[in-house]
Structure formats: structure tokens, C-alpha cells
Amino acid sequence: MTARRYLAGNWKMNLGLPEARALYRGVADGAKGYPATRILVFPPFTALAALAEARREGEPAIGAQNCHFETNGAFTGEVSAEQAKDAGAEFVLVGHSERRRLFCENDLLTRQKLSAAWRAGLTPVLCVGETMVERSRRETRDILARQIQRALEGANPRAPLLVAYEPVWAIGTGVVATSDEVAKAHGWVREEVAAAGRDVEGGTPVLYGGSVDPKTARPLARIAGVDGFLVGGASLEAASFLAIAEALETPEPRASAAN
Ligand code: PGA
């Protein structure tokens, strides 16, 4: 079949250490049933090192939700990409819409954070997507082009990267983009990624994110060009998260449910 698909869980600012440990264990045990899906989890920093230490060979990789672009220094409250890597992270989310919207992160900062991630040996997941207003003005394509071009300006096209298309209006709202919208947007993202000199087929997986749950996952998983999902709310329970892995591995409804 096609290249391996990704399922990434963004736990955001949720879970204490005992809950995080329990969720990771549930996901790691269940993940064995989905060998064709590469599962990643992004716990809060307070749980990252503990989970990474307890992680066994082959279990879901762990990522940081954010990083600072400097290696160290007087940046109270911040965590550098090197520190995240040292704590056991292999991936890092960059440019998530909550960072852009709530913490005023712009395209320049996003580019700096991507560079920091590569410098530290992390694989960044670059998040892009349009707001509701931009969508209603039919600016989606321009917004995606701007965000991707500015983020990847001057970047080594061989540096490891995942991109997540996350329409801002679909995040945490229960509103999912239609299959047609997702297919179109993924096409645009892939065009921009290719224009940046990157290998699109397999080399730079493009995930969809925004209210993905076990129900919405199956039709989304059937869209060509969707290489996996970045999931928020539904990643906070092992059962719902793993049900999304099931949808990625068997996007067609089982025979009994057909027609
Ligand atoms: P959601 O969040 O699945 O809760 O919509 C997705 C995300 O923020 O990455």
C-alpha cells in the first residue's frame, strides 16, 4: 500500500503525571495492533521526560508541544529545542494555531522555531491553516502559501518535516472540513511543499487536524493526500485515539457496514 501513515495526539495543557502515564501506557499497548500507523504523542512538558524514560523500544514516539528558538539563556519559562530533545522528545509542534492566535506567534517566529528544531535534531510538525474569516473571504490558498513559504524560506529541503493542515475554525469546535475542502487544501499544501524543493510523495507527510474523532476519521482517511491526523480532544482517551488508528488502517467500512 501507500507509505506509513501518522497519528499524532496533541494533549495540550491537560493531564497530571499519573494520568499522562496511564494514557501513554494505554496508547502504547493498543498501538501494537496498528503496525502500519506511526503513532506520536505530544504531552505537556511536565510529563515529557517521565514518559520518555519509561518508553520501551518501538513504542509511540514523544514530541514537545512547543520550543524556544534559542539554545539557552534568560528566557524565563521557556524550553529550548535542545532541552526538549534532552528530555526525550523526537518531534516538536511548530506554528500551532493556538500558539499563533493566543501567543501572537508569527511566520518569522515559526521559521526560527523550525530552524531550532532541526538544529537540535528534532523533527518539526509545521501546523498551518486559515481562520473562519479568511475562509469566508476565499483566502485559504493564499494563507497556506504564505505560511508555508515563510516558514520554509532558506530551509534545507532534506531536513525532516511533517506538515499539519489544521483549519483554525475546525479545531476544538466539532466542525470538520468537508472531504472536498480537505482534498483541495491538501493539494495546495503539497504544491507549496514541492515548490520549497521538498519531496512530497512520502518525504513530507501532510496530516489533517481539526475535530478528528473516531466518527469523522474514516471518511477523512479515504482522501488521497491525507497522510494521517493531528488530534487534540480525541487523543485524551486511549480508546478514542486508537479508534482513529483503526480508521487510518481500514478506511473503507467493513463489509457488514457497506451500502
Ligand atoms: P482538536 O484539536 O482535535 O481538538 O480539534 C486539534 C489540534 O489542535 O491539533
> What secondary structure, in 3-state letters, does 62-98 show?
EEECCCECCCCCCCCCCCEHHHHHHCCCCEEEECCHH
CA of 204 to the centre of ligand 1 (A): 20
CA of 44 to the centre of ligand 1 (A): 15
CA of 74 to the centre of ligand 1 (A): 31
What does the pLDDT average to over 89-96? 98
Tell whether ligand 1 has an atom less than 6 A from the beta carbon of residue 10: yes
Atom of ligand 1 nearest to the CA of 164: 9
Catalytic residue numbers? 96, 166
What does the pLDDT average to over 175-199? 93
Among 19-28, 158-167, 199-208, 220-229, the minimum mean pLDDT is found in 199-208
Tell whether ligand 1 has an atom less than 6 A from the beta carbon of residue 95: no
Say if CB 212 and CB 229 are below 8 A apart: yes
Tell whether ligand 1 has an atom less than 6 A from the beta carbon of residue 216: no
pLDDT in tens, 213-252: 999 999 999 999 999 999 999 999 999 999 999 999 987 7
Other Cβ atoms within 10 Å of 58 Cβ, number: 10
